Amino acid sequence: MFRYTPTTLQKLEQVFRESGFIVRYEKGNFKAGYCVLHDKKVAVINKYFDTESRINSLIDMMSEIQIDESKLTPKSLEFLKHLQEAKVTA
């Protein structure tokens, strides 16, 4: 299991950055609270979301995008594997 903390959010953002995505927090009219622009590799999340909602949005987005594990640092890869294991057991 993982915790909904600012540190977890930073680790998730790092995984996205290492995969070539830009994570932005902006106001907008998103039905799910986020939007993924695949062509530009930009992930936009509602800036009014709290930490837990931001983390959940990034986790939801991970199922829609391809994370290139070969680009990840060992630390980020370990975090991603831990996150995937937590998601499976939940």
Query: What CATH class is the domain 6-89?
Result: alpha beta
Q: What is the pLDDT of residues 9-29, one digit of tens each?
A: 999 999 999 999 999 999 988
* pLDDT number for residue 90: 52
Bridge partners (DSSP) of residue 43 are: 23, 36
Predicted pLDDT at 88: 60
Q: Are strands 42-46 and 22-26 parallel, antiparallel or unpaired?
A: parallel
What is the model's pTM?
0.88
Residue 79 has pLDDT above 90, yes or no: yes
The per-residue pLDDT of the chain, averaged, comes to 90
- pLDDT interval class at 6 (50, 70, 90): very high
Segments making up each domain of the chain, as ranges: 6-89
Q: What is the mean pLDDT of residues 28-50?
A: 88
